[in-house]
Amino acid sequence: MDMTRLTQCIHHRSHALTLSIDLKTRMEDRAHANSLNHEYSQEQVASESSNQVIKRDTQYNSFKTCSGKLERQLSELIGKTQELDLEANEAVPDVHLYFDALEGPELDTLKATETLALPEDKTWPFLLRFPISSFGMCLGVSSQAILWKALSTVPSMKFLHVSLKVNLNLWFISLALTCIISFIYSLKIIFYFEAVKREYHHPIRVNFFFAPWIACLFLALGVPPSVTQNLHVSLWYALMAPILCLELKIYGQWMSGGQRKLSKVANPSNHLSIVSNFVGALLGASMGLKQASIFFFSVGLAHYTVLFITLYQRLPTNQPLPKELHPVFFLFVAPPSVACMAWAKIQNHFDYISRITYFIALFLYASLAVRINFFRGFKFSLAWWAYTFPITGASIANIRYSNEAENVISPTLSVVLSSISTFTVASVFVSTFIHAFVLHDLIPNDISIAITHKRPPKLKKKKSSHFKSIANDAH
């Protein structure tokens, strides 16, 4: 009896011990499994976050100087097969693609039937959005320095008693502005060189690559007498060398460039490439480089004549301009305004050629000014700076002419035009400041450089088939 109870007790204890060991083992296994699941979830979260970082960064790879080599290496390290980035390998669009995908006077508006290589619902990096047309601000402010220098030094305007301090202050402001914009765009060249290439191949943006050098020429022309009386001629050669290189490329394309011939890409912004010749001739003549000045004046005059006729004819091969006028149309005034001063400086007096070009500029100015209603309704943008330096150039030309003409009308007209010019530049400058630092919408996504060879799926066929099915059901 006792042996039986003892055996049963031992059996119950061994069974309880076995259950305890099994329970402990299960708890340890469950804890280990939970630990493994936690570690796996952490690794998965880290992997997903890494993938998100890579995905976020790679969407701008096609515009970076180095197209995402580091991101591809990171993808290989985490064991994820990276999808082929078609946009990164996509070549710079041909000129016809810009005309097919974009619209507007500056080809900066995406057509409804097109798509972009970058997300439209996100704000792109600042450097990627910063356009070459920003140098238009430098042209407007630096031309004001030249205007107020003329108002204070030309004998016919002495009755205004304008101090040279105005010229000094404006010159330093324009110098600082040019340095800031040049520094920012240099960063874009370093980090987003592919985007710069797309701007260079843009049929309108390419003309703004003359703007940095024209701005430097304006700074040289508007330098205050208190800073220096004479500039070294090496400065002229340094500024005109890149302009000559750009002209050899672009003018050659105009003549025999196939898709980029002038009859195809002619637009008002082409005047920037023409103005650079006349501004260079004006500065060169001021430095005593008469033959070099005549050379650039001749090149500018020849191509200005061809461009002027092409824009007036609007050949069937040209892309149609909108009915509404646009700020860039005031660039028509710039070439003859600067040309008259350049030739007068070469000849040392305001002869008949200078007077002819001056009156052409004055007539173009008046023909645009009387149509002021057609310039309304445009949202403010950097393109508004196209108003500034052509108007200022016409004012300076009138001041130079008033010094030769012996009448009362010319000095009076100089005061009126100078007032309009100063008011225009001040208004555009204030608007630029408000949109840049208050509204924060001055530099939106630059969709003109983000067009792609891809096309969105067409829905017309689907709609037609849907309508056919409805018609069949009705029958």
Q: pLDDT tens, 4-51?
A: 655 555 555 555 555 555 655 666 666 655 665 555 555 554 555 545
Q: What is the pLDDT of residue 412?
A: 95
In 424-434, which positions are buried (b, 16+ CB within 10 angstroms) versus exposed (e)?
Answer: bbeebbeebee
CB distance 174 to 145 below 8 Å = yes
**Distance in angstroms (rounded) separating the CA atoms of residues 63 and 452:** 12
- Kindly state the average pLDDT of the residues 171-184: 98
Q: At what angle do helices 352-369 and 334-347 cross, to 10 degrees?
A: 160
Q: Which of 58-67, 119-128, 166-175, 335-344 has the lowest mean pLDDT?
A: 58-67
Q: What is the pLDDT at residue 442?
A: 93
pLDDT per position as a tens digit, 316-344:
555 555 544 578 889 999 999 999 999 99
Domain architecture of the chain: domains with CATH: 37-89 (no CATH), 98-449 (1.50.10.150)
Long-range residue pairs from 304-310, CB within 8 A, at least 24 positions apart, any chain: 304/271, 304/274, 304/335, 304/336, 304/339, 306/254, 306/262, 307/262, 307/266, 307/270, 307/271, 307/274, 310/262, 310/263, 310/266
Query: Is the pLDDT at 455 greater than 50, yes or no?
Result: yes
Confidence of residue 64 (pLDDT cuts 50, 70, 90): confident
Per-residue pLDDT of 203-227, as tens digits, reads 889 999 999 999 999 999 999 999 9
In the chain, what is the straight-line distance between the N-terminal and C-terminal CA atoms, in Å?
Answer: 99
pLDDT at 454: 58
Amino acid at 361: A
The percentage of residues in the chain with a pLDDT greater than 90, rounded to a whole number, is 53
pTM of the model: 0.80
Residue 364: name the closest of 283, 280, 304, 296 by CA. 304
